[in-house]
Amino acid sequence: MSPEAIADAIADTIAAELAEPGWCVVPNYLDAAETAGLRQECLTAHAKNTFHRAGVGRGTAEIRDEIRGDQVLWIDETTAGPALKTVLSKLEALRLSVNRHLFLGLFDVELHFAVYPSGAGYRRHLDRFQDDDRRTLTVILYLNENWSAADGGLLRFWPNQAEAALEIEPSGGTLVTFLSDRFWHEVAPAQRQRLSLTGWFRRR
């Protein structure tokens, strides 16, 4: 089976999970080499001081240390490195599959690298803005190497308000997807630097 056919098959499986229950966790969505390549692109950009502190809200976002402590770099697809181009191709297969199966009308994707320094987290929140409903499907790809439970930094995810949160370890290569307007989640503080590629498929 070709890499393209494999990506399409995985995308179809994710789309089925998104139909019900609306979220999906896929370990090893990226293999070790793909994860290492993307991690290196992230760290190289971070070392050049191209990241900025993430804010809260849309437009002129407010820096709120008590809410979130990550640093981000928004992705420009025209200058993407080879590892990122591979991931973008996989995510495009996912967009097409979700549209084919769920008719969500996903038009494009906005992505950023996110680096959480040791001790930083992100308090419980939803991903869709109150005054802008374009963000429809959240995608998170973890880039961390040899992550362990002692490192913290778990994604706490509430499948519904009546249940306790699930705790998802940010192991390298893992993909988490969920409908952006439905699921509350937070990032617990980590004991070491925590890396991801995070973004949203959007409608027009």
Q: pTM, whole model, 2 decimals?
A: 0.93
Give residue 13's domain range: 3-57+67-202
Average pLDDT, the chain: 92
Q: Residue range 2-29: average pLDDT?
A: 90
Q: In this structure, what CATH number is given to the domain that contains residue 21? A: 2.60.120.620
Four-point Cα dihedral 114, 170, 202, 65, nearest 10: -40
Overall domain count for the chain: 1
| pLDDT of amino acid 59 | 55
Q: Is residue 82 in a domain? A: yes
Mean pLDDT score, 154-183: 94
Q: CA angle, corner 125, sides to 144 and 71, nearest 5?
A: 45
Whether residue 62 lies inside any domain: the answer is no
- For the segment 103-134, what is each residue's pLDDT rounded down to a tens digit? 999 999 999 999 999 999 999 999 887 768 89
* Contact by Cβ (8 Å): 118, 160: no
The confidence score (pLDDT) of residue 147 equals 97
Cis? peptide before 21, omega within 30° of 0: yes
50-107 per-position pLDDT tens digit: 999 987 766 556 777 778 999 999 999 888 999 999 999 999 999 999 999 999 999 9
Residue 33 lies in a domain: yes
